């Protein structure tokens, strides 16, 4: 009886191996294929997100460039005529209300714009450039009392400051646009 029991057990083990062996091999192959597919999908998602992130960053600096350019244009267009008016009327005393508020708005927002631009220049590797040094000089410049300058000097000084910000932002935008084009090329190459 023992020989027959051994034969039954042996036959059972052989049958189990015939069934489980291919199933185990298939499961391992399926696991490896699935893992490989997931890794490929993750790389593709990483590439797509890198492209999307560079696109958003580019859009931010492009919009910032427009904002700084609009500020410069507004100062030029809206405040330049006030300079002529103040010269013709022997001073700024007659300029009241919204016109001086407009100037004050740009002057008061300048330190924040300056701080953001310096931060961005540092972040993108432009520390030590002439543009960076110019903005540092503006940051460290002591604020002069308004009575030492004419209104025209103040307006033209503010225009120059916003132009310096715009030029520095343009540097960043140029660098990012190059990176954006590289990401776009990589992204479209993979599709």
- Residue 73 confidence (pLDDT): 78
**Can you give the pTM of this predicted structure?**
0.57
Find the mean pLDDT for residues 91-115: 73
At residue 96, does pLDDT exceed 60? Answer: no
- Residue 170 confidence (pLDDT): 85
Task: Kindly tell me the burial class for residue 166, based on how many C-beta atoms sit within 10 Å of its own C-beta (0-12, 13-18, 19 or more).
Answer: buried
The alpha helices in 75-147, defined as continuous H runs, are 80-88, 98-123, 130-140
Report the distance separating Cα 24 and Cα 149, nearest Å.
86
Q: Give the pair of three-digit tokens for residue 84.
A: 């002529």
Q: Give the pair of three-digit tokens for residue 15.
A: 């049958």
Find the mean pLDDT for residues 38-63: 74
* Residue with the larger pLDDT of the pair 11 and 166: 166
Angle between helix axes 2-74 and 98-123 (nearest 10 degrees) is: 140
Query: Which among 93, 86, 89, 73 is positioned nearest to 158, based on CA atoms?
Result: 73
Three-class DSSP category at 92: coil
Find the mean pLDDT for residues 173-185: 72
Contact in structure between 121 and 64 (CB atoms under 8 Å): no
Give Cβ neighbours of residue 170 (< 8 Å, ≥ 6 apart): 65
Query: Which among 72, 71, 93 is positioned nearest to 82, based on CA atoms?
Result: 93
For 128, left (φ over 0), alpha (ψ -120 to 50), or beta?
A: left
* Residue with the larger pLDDT of the pair 166 and 73: 166
Give Cβ neighbours of residue 186 (< 8 Å, ≥ 6 apart): 47, 50, 51
User: Residue 103 — pLDDT band, cuts 50, 70, 90?
Assistant: confident
Contact in structure between 138 and 111 (CB atoms under 8 Å): no
At residue 129, does pLDDT exceed 80? Answer: yes
């Amino acid at each position: 009886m023992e020989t027959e029991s051994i034969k039954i057990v042996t036959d059972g083990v052989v049958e189990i191996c015939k069934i489980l062996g291919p199933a185990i091999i298939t499961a391992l192959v399926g696991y490896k294929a699935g893992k490989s597919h997931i890794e490929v999908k993750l790389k593709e998602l990483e590439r797509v997100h890198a492209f999307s992130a560079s696109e958003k960053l580019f859009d931010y600096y492009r919009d910032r460039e427009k904002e700084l350019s609009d500020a410069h244009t507004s100062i030029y267009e809206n405040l330049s005529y006030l300079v002529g008016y103040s010269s013709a009327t022997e001073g700024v005393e007659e300029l009241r209300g919204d016109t001086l508020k407009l100037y004050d708005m740009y002057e008061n927002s300048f330190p924040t714009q300056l701080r953001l631009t310096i931060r961005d220049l540092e972040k993108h590797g432009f520390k030590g450039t002439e543009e960076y040094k110019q903005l540092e000089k503006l940051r460290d410049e002591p604020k002069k009392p308004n009575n030492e300058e004419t209104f025209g000097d103040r307006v033209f000084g503010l225009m120059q400051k916003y132009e310096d910000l715009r030029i520095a932002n343009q540097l960043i935008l140029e660098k990012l646009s190059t990176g954006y084009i590289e990401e776009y090329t990589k992204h479209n190459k993979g599709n």
